[in-house]
């Protein structure tokens, strides 16, 4: 059997007539015509390697252990979600994109992005005379995600980005008690 491309060690070990050496599941091997070209560690066999040709930057700020959380929306759906991380969006730092993995049935997961523009944050900061901390920005993103869960009629609509406007920042900050 000829293997090409990137495969995890567990995928190569499952070959019946395999001549390959055994490696732990947390190693990936690159094969070409049955020859191991490279072996390198990965955190998760489903990990997607970041490409320098990608338009989006890699996510940062994700917790070491992801926790699935649940939200019962006013739309009648019960959503499960994970926080995946954040990254800048737009040219010349136009804002922060918070990325969550969202599911309404625990079988199909899709990314949901909450975009908080620098202009929306700056408007609040100018009115209140202080900077928002990273924790407060995350809280704004999470509350905006909950608002989208409540307002969007079906889970399929969660694939659309959630854009947080200056009025939304002000309303959410008031609800959370930011001074």
Residue 51: partners with Cβ closer than 8 Å, 6 or more residues away: none
Whole-angstrom Cα distance, residue 28 to residue 179?
A: 49
Residue 36: partners with Cβ closer than 8 Å, 6 or more residues away: 20, 21, 29, 30
What is residue 179's predicted lDDT score, i.e. its pLDDT? 79
CB 101 within 8 A of CB 109: yes
Q: What is the residue-averaged pLDDT of the chain?
A: 79
77: tokens are 């759906």
Higher pLDDT, 105 or 11: 105
Model confidence band, residue 90 (pLDDT cutoffs 50, 70, 90): confident
**Rounded to two decimals, what is the model's pTM?**
0.69
- CA distance between the termini of the chain: 65
What is residue 172's predicted lDDT score, i.e. its pLDDT? 96
- Where is 124: in which H helix or E strand? helix 118-128
Q: Which of 68, 75, 76 is nearest to 100 (CA)?
A: 68
pLDDT digits (tens, 9 = 90+) for 103-119: 999 899 999 999 999 99
50: tokens are 């970041």
Model confidence band, residue 174 (pLDDT cutoffs 50, 70, 90): very high
Phi, psi of 5 (to 5 degrees): 85, -160
Q: Which of 12, 21, 17, 99 is nearest to 56 (CA)?
A: 99
Whole-angstrom Cα distance, residue 35 to residue 43?
A: 23
Q: What is the mean pLDDT of residues 145-149?
A: 96
What are the CA-CA distances from residue 65 to residues 42, 143, 154, 163 (Å)?
16, 21, 29, 27
Q: What is the mean pLDDT of residues 132-141?
A: 96
What is residue 29's predicted lDDT score, i.e. its pLDDT? 53
CB 6 within 8 A of CB 26: no
pLDDT digits (tens, 9 = 90+) for 41-85: 554 444 444 455 556 778 898 888 989 999 999 999 999 999 999
Coil, strand or helix at 110: strand
């Amino acid at each position: 059997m000829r293997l090409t491309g990137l495969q995890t060690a567990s995928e190569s070990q499952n070959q019946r007539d395999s001549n390959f050496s055994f490696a732990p599941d947390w190693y990936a091997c690159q094969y070409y015509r049955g020859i191991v070209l490279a072996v390198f560690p990965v955190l998760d066999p489903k990990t997607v390697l970041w490409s320098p040709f990608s338009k989006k930057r890699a996510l940062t700020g994700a917790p070491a252990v992801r926790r699935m959380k649940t939200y019962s929306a006013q739309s009648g759906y019960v959503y499960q979600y994970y926080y995946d991380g954040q990254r800048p969006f737009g040219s010349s730092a136009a804002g922060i994109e918070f990325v969550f993995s969202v599911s309404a049935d625990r079988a199909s997961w899709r990314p949901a992005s909450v975009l908080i523009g620098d202009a929306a944050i700056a408007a609040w900061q100018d009115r209140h005379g202080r900077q928002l901390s990273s924790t407060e920005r995350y809280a704004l993103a999470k509350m905006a995600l909950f608002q989208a869960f409540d307002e969007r009629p079906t889970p399929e609509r969660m694939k659309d980005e959630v854009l947080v406007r200056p009025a939304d920042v002000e309303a959410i900050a008031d609800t959370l008690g930011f001074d």
